[in-house]
Structure 1
Amino acid sequence: MNTIEKFEKCIFFLIYIMHWVHSEGIYQNSSHICDTCKCSDGNSFIMDCSDQNFQHVLANWPMNNKSLIAKFSNNNLTTLQLLPTSNQRAKLVFDHCKIKYIEGGVFSNMKNVEFIDLSYNFLTTEEIDGNNFKGPYNNSKFHPLPSLKYLNLAYNQIHSLPRKFFENMPNLEELDLEGNDFTVLDPQTQLSIGTLTRLTVLNLANNELTEVEGEVLRNLSNLKKIDLSSNQLDFVPESLEYLGKTLQVLNLSENYIFQLNDKSFMGLNIRELHLNNLPRLESIGPNTFATLHNLKKLHLFNNLNLKDIDVEAFGKNQTLDELYLNNNSLKTIPFKLIYWSQLKILNIDGNPLECDCNLYNITKAVSTSVIKNMNYPICYDDEDKSIDIYLLNENNCKVKGHRFHIAQVSRHFDTMRTILIILSTLLIIGTILTIVIGHLRYKKGLSLRSYPFVAQVSYNPITTEYI
């Protein structure tokens, strides 16, 4: 027997001793547990032990041959101890349990655990490693947890992941890291997440991230949904291009993104996009969404400074199922923006919309089912009186001189300002050049007039007369 095998046997022996101690007294009494917890027996055996002030896990699971769903929310466990043995498929919930520590191999007696929720606890980087999630010990070695598909570590105090953290979770499909302390995704974390080639859902929301490094996403060839909301991103991360073939849902809400243009979503093929609560976003540029040929749901609401969406923001043949533009600062919505007749859901409430021809044509184009589900949006006429948009008529397509002029100037103010700055700059440069050239010519004139020879020497021909 080599040294490694001896070491592994020692570990197994220690775990056995810990389990023995645990089963001899340091556990929550599991006798008649369904008198304490709420149990229901249907397709699965569900045991809800939430809010019971438990300080330890159970010594044994109730006898049952069905898959197990065990909930221990809002208890006082502090340390998550070695769990009792079960060969059934299991989902385990330990959120809000004040857990600071996890025993090594805590799930090793549950080889078919599929779902683990450890959210809203006090776990730190220093207290988690791959050993916490080792599977069963058999044939002188620990095996992985092949059935584990979902792991929730949201709202703990984790700032980095060990490089081999997921080596015992080879088939993980959903990972939730929301609300931790990942201000940056350091190289160890990048390599760690990068090993999850089967991952389909990744939540990195609310972590103060300013960037998403390419190494995190490069190998996630099956990722379908990523949540990057509530971070500190200034731009749409270029690294998302690695997910172009598979990504379907992208959430970038509650960031500091201030520019969206034709390069923002280049290479992506998403079906659902969330761009809500972006306080610095003022306009949507041309062709911003044109490359998203499969886009069906666009959430673009609560952007208090969003005043303009370019009429060419979408592609010519692009169709949406759902469009949410509520609670922005839009005064007009271009009628030629999309095919309104294809929409199933439309929300434009809470905008200071003008009662113009664009809005009238939109109300005529959307289907009656959409109109019935809209929350009575209003617009404002020339006298700033509110009108139900369904009451608009062809008279709203007449140009209203002063109001139209002000709106046009407002929409093109940035362009006019840029042109004026350029012209002013050119005028200043031209004036300076004129002054410099004039001054140089003046100095040259003075130098010619003060030439050192005061008189010219003239030569007269000598006339010779012949006698």
Structure 2
Amino acid sequence: MSIWIKLLITVILETIVTAKLICSKKGVTDIVCTAGNSDYELERGVVSDQNGITGIHLKSCRITQIKLEAFKGLPALEYLDLSHNSISNLDLGVLDDTQNLKSLNLSFNSIKSLPLGLFDQEPNLEVLDLRGNSIKNLTKGLFAPLKKLRHLDVSNNFLVGRELSPDIFENNKLIKFMDISRNDLSDTPENLFQAFTQIDFLNVDRCFLDKVPAFTTKTNMKTMKHLMLSTNHITQLDDPKIFLNLESIEIINLAKNLIESISENIFKSLKKIKMIILRDNNLRSIPDTLFKGLPKLVNLHLQNNMLESLPVNAFRNSRIKNLNVGGNKITFLIDNFCLELKNSGTNLKKFMFTNNPWQCPCLLDVLVEMRRMGIEYNPDKYDGQQKVCVQQDQYCHRHLESNSVYIDLYQELVELNP
């Protein structure tokens, strides 16, 4: 091999190894960039000064800093993805030449704060994704220019509720999607979302809440359809009026809390509710009329609680199709449970009840009835090869005072057959 060929190969290899950022056009209107082998400071000339570009994709490009004029000369830009980089700060003015921007993704960076005025030249921004950063506070006025904002995600940051100004969202009346989960929202101002008039989805999962916060149920939240309150520290749902204003709600997720008690009238006003998720709580019983008279209720998740009984009255005049009560302490159901539900107006199609300490004769009654009525369940669990119930005699004892005996026997069975 000649010395010139060797030198050429060396130059090519060095170029590949030291390449920092490679950008190319995708179609006529988009620029897509890929990372090289080292961190990179984005400067003018890489993606800037291109009149017809509407989308720039800089995801996972090892960007650590954005120079002030990096986005100069992009009058048509509507979509900018800077997610999954190592950006720690954004200088004031860095976005001033992207006035037609509609979607900005800054998720999964290392941003600690956002300077007041950063969005002053973004009157058309509709989608802003800031999740997965290290933001500790949101300065009052930061979002004021974003009057068209409809989707905001600030989840998985270090926000502290008591330090948030109740006026932070005062100009963001059009927000429909709000995710503020995985922050500390204890002691948050009650009127934090007072400006919202069109909210559709709200996520406050993993926010260290010990009760349903008032800022999620104010009268202006009446347009909301999906509320996520899962994985908090809520212990009681005793106020029957707590969800009274949520007249459009279709899904409420209260999974993985510590709920022990619940008011029998708490869901009564929710005539559009389709799904209630109460799995992974500490419920020992449910009120006799808890889900009664909910004409749209189709999906109900009660698994992994401590329930010993299912009062059939609790489901009358609902439209439940899918019911999950697995992982409780149920040893029997009333005779003809499924038929009683059908006669009361429900339309049960799928019934999941695994990992309960069933009395064997009681379980057999349930299985026979479900097969006869064509109701779906997980038959692989009940194939006769696994220990799924306990039996002391051939009769089903439908008395709660006897439950502790079967629960203890089942626990022993589980421990012997992990």
Category of TM-score, reference length = shorter chain: 0.7 to 0.9
Q: 1:381 to 1:248 in 2, by over 3 A?
A: closer
1-structure distance, mates of 2:128, 2:365: 48
State the SS of the aligned residue for 2:102. Answer: strand
On the 8 A contact 1:236/1:265 being kept in 2, the answer is no
Tell me the distance in 2 between the aligned counterparts of 1:297 and 1:255: 19
Tell me how far apart the structure 1 counterparts of residues 262 and 33 of structure 2 sit (CA, whole Å).
48
What is the match of residue 334 of structure 1?
311
Structure 2 residue aligned with 1:291: 269
User: Which of 49-58 and 161-170 deviates more?
Assistant: 49-58
Q: CA RMSD of the aligned region, Å? A: 3.5
SS of the counterpart of 1:175? strand
- Aligned residue for 1:75? 61
CA distance in 2 between counterparts of 1:207 and 1:159 reads 9
- The corresponding residue for 2:145 is 168
Instruction: Compute the displacement of 1:399 (Å).
Output: 7.7
Q: Which of 353, 360, 367 is 2:337 aligned to? A: 360
Contact 1:67-1:89 within 8 A present in 2 as well: yes
Cα distance change, pair 343–291 in 1 and its aligned pair in 2 (3 A): same
Of 76-85 and 56-65, deviating more is 56-65
Pick the aligned partner of 2:180 from 186, 194, 204: 204
* Within-5 A mapping of 1:167-246: 167-186=144-163, 189-239=165-215, 240-246=217-223
With the length of structure 2 as denominator, give the TM-score of the two structures: 0.74
> 2:337 aligned with 1:349, yes or no?
no
Bigger mean CA deviation after superposition, 94-103 or 52-61: 52-61
Q: 1:272 to 1:29 in 2, by over 3 A?
A: closer
Deviations 1:304-360 (A, max 9, x none): x22211122235354302222222222222222224772343333333322211773
Alignment deviations for residues 31-62 of structure 1 (CA, whole Å, 9 cap, x no partner): xx23xxxx6449x7462536765513362259
Measure, in 2, the Cα distance between the counterparts of 1:91 and 1:185: 33
Match of 1:249 among 196, 212, 226: 226
Would you say 1:266 and 2:244 are equivalent positions? yes
SS for the counterpart of 1:298 is: strand
Task: Mark the CA change 1:340 to 1:324 in structure 2 (over 3 Å): closer, same or farther.
Answer: farther
Match of 2:128 among 135, 142, 151: 151
Decide whether aligned partners of structure 1 residues 297 and 341 sit closer, same or farther in structure 2, where only a CA change above 3 A counts: closer
Q: 1:277 to 1:98 in 2, by over 3 A?
A: same
Q: Answer yes or no: is the 8 Å Cα contact 2:31–2:47 preserved in 1.
A: no
Partners of 2:38 and 2:307 in 1: how far apart? Answer: 51
Structure 2 unaligned blocks of 5 or more = 1-18, 373-394, 405-418
- Name 1:463's counterpart in structure 2: none
Letter aligned with residue 108 of structure 2: Y
Match status 1:101 vs 2:89: yes
Q: Hey, what's the Cα distance between the residues in 2 that align with 1:382 and 1:249?
A: 38
* Residues 72-151 of structure 1: pairs in structure 2 closer than 5 A: 72-81=58-67, 82-125=70-113, 128-135=114-121, 145-151=122-128
* SS across alignment from 2:192: helix
SS of the counterpart of 2:125?
A: coil
Cα deviation 1:52-107 (Å, max 9, x = unaligned): 65513362259684742x33233332222332432335222222211112122222
Change (3 A) 1:283 1:45: same
Instruction: Name 1:382's counterpart in structure 2.
Output: 359
Query: Which residue identity does 1:324 align to in structure 2?
Result: H
CA spacing shift, 1:213–1:388, aligned 2, 3 Å: farther
Is residue 55 of structure 1 aligned with residue 40 of structure 2? Answer: yes
Equivalent pair of 1:326/1:350 in contact (CA under 8 Å): yes
1:203/1:228 contact within 8 Å kept: yes
Alignment of 1:29-48 (within 5 A): 33-34=23-24, 40-41=26-27, 45=30, 47=32
Secondary structure, aligned partner of 1:56: strand
CA distance in 1, matches of 2:49, 2:20: 13
Judged with a 3 Å threshold, the aligned counterparts in structure 2 of structure 1 residues 387 and 157 are, in CA distance, closer, same or farther, namely farther
From 307, 313, 322, the counterpart of 2:284: 307
TM-score of the pair, normalised by structure 1? 0.66
Is contact 1:290-1:318 (8 Å) kept?
no
Cα distance per residue 1:369-427 (max 9 Å; x no partner): x33xx567465443699659433589xxx9836x433459xxxxxxxxxxxxxxxxxxx
Residues 244, 103 of structure 1: alpha-carbon distance in 2 compared, 3 angstrom cutoff: closer
The percentage of aligned residue pairs carrying the same residue is: 20
The whole-number CA distance in structure 2 between the counterparts of 1:146 and 1:174 is 14
Does the 8 A contact of 1:111 with 1:147 survive in 2? yes
In the alignment, is residue 324 of structure 1 matched against residue 301 of structure 2? yes
Q: Aligned to 1:210, what secondary structure does the other structure show?
A: coil
SS at match of 1:243: helix
**Greater Rg over alpha carbons, structure:** 1
Aligned-pair distance for 1:165?
0.6
In 2: Cα distance, 1:224 partner to 1:293 partner:
17
